[in-house]
Amino acid sequence: MRWLLLLVTTLAGCESRYVARPLPELVVPEIAKPITTPQLALIPGERFVFAVHHKGFTIARAELVVDEWRVHSRLRTTQLAQMFATVEHELTTTLDRERTRPLAATETLAIDGKRELVETAFDGARYAIAGKARSIPGGRAHNVHTALGALRAWATPGGAAGYLFVVVAGELYRLDAEPPRFEDLRGTRTLRFDARVRMLGDGSAPIAVAMWLSLDDARVPLRIELAQDAMRLAADKLDE
C-alpha cells in the first residue's frame, strides 16, 4: 500500500473545495475467521480502469487486466501529480486458481526514475523473497491481486467478518474486514465493506479501506477509498 500513500503525499500541500468525510470506525468481532473462498473472483477477460483522486484532483490512473493464469496491473501518476513526483507501479501475478492463491508475483515501483523490483514466490504457508522464506500466520498469504479476488468472492449480504494476510512490496499485512452491507453509491445500489490493514510488527497507524462492489454476480469494484491519519485516496472505476 505504500505507493498509494506516496501518491497522497505528493499533493498533500494542494488545497481544493473537496472535503473528505472520515471513514467510520471498524468494528470486527474478537474471534474473526480467515477469509476462504472456493474460487477467486478474477474473471478472465476482465479489464478495469480507475481514476485515483486526492483532495479533488486526479493524481493517477490505474488499470487491471485478468487472463486465465495471470493478472497484471499498472498505476502511473498524471501530469499534474508529476509536478511533485513521478510514480509508476506494476504488478504481475501468476495464479493458482485451484488453491485460490498466488503462485508468484513480480512487483516494480519506480519513483522519479529510481526503480525497485520485488519478486515473490508463494507456497501456501510460506512465501519467499530473494530466496529467503518467511512463514505466514494462519497458513496462507495473498498479494494485492488475489486479495481482491478473494474479497470479491467473499462479499455477500449478511456474510461474516473475516481476515486475510497480504504481501505488499515484500512486507506482510493483515486485513480485517467487516461484514458487507448494502449502500447507495451515487444513486446505484451497491455492496460495501470496510476494513483495516496493519503491517505486522509495525506500530504505525492502520490503513482504513472501504470498497463498493456491484450487486450482480461479478462483484465489480466500483470505488475504493484508503485513508491513514489525515491522508486519503479514492479510486473510481471508469466506464471504458
What confidence tens digit (pLDDT) does each residue in 35-94 have?
Answer: 999 999 999 999 999 999 988 899 999 999 999 999 999 999 999 888 888 889 999 999
Could you tell me the pLDDT band of residue 31, with boundaries at 50, 70 and 90?
A: low
pLDDT for res 17: 31
What pLDDT, on a 0 to 100 scale, did the predictor assign at position 13? Answer: 36
- Assign 8 a pLDDT band (cuts: 50, 70, 90): very low
Compute the distance between CA of residue 89 and CA of residue 99 in angstroms, rounded to an integer: 27
Least confident of 166-170, 179-183, 185-189, 202-206: 202-206
Cell numbers placing 120: 515473490
The C-alpha angle 52, 39, 2, rounded to 5 degrees, equals: 30
Domains of the chain plus CATH, in order, are 2-20+32-237 (2.50.20)
* One-letter amino acid of 214: S
Helix count and strand count (H, E) for the chain: 2, 16
Give residue 26's pLDDT: 52
| CA-wise closest residue to 80 among 59, 52, 54, 63 | 59
pLDDT for residue 5 is more than 50: no
Strand partners, 49: 63
Can you tell me the distance from the alpha carbon of 141 to that of 120, in angstroms, rounded to the nearest whole number?
11
Percentage of residues in the chain with pLDDT exceeding 90?
A: 61
Query: At residue 137, does pLDDT exceed 60?
Result: yes
In terms of Cα–Cα distance, which of 201, 149, 200 is closest to 176? 200
For every residue of 140-159, DSSP letters joined together read --B-HHHHHHHHHHH--TTP
- The SS3 of residue 125 is coil
| The three cell numbers locating residue 47 | 479489464
Judge contact between 58 and 76, C-beta under 8 A.
Answer: no
Distance of alpha carbon 173 from the chain centroid: 11
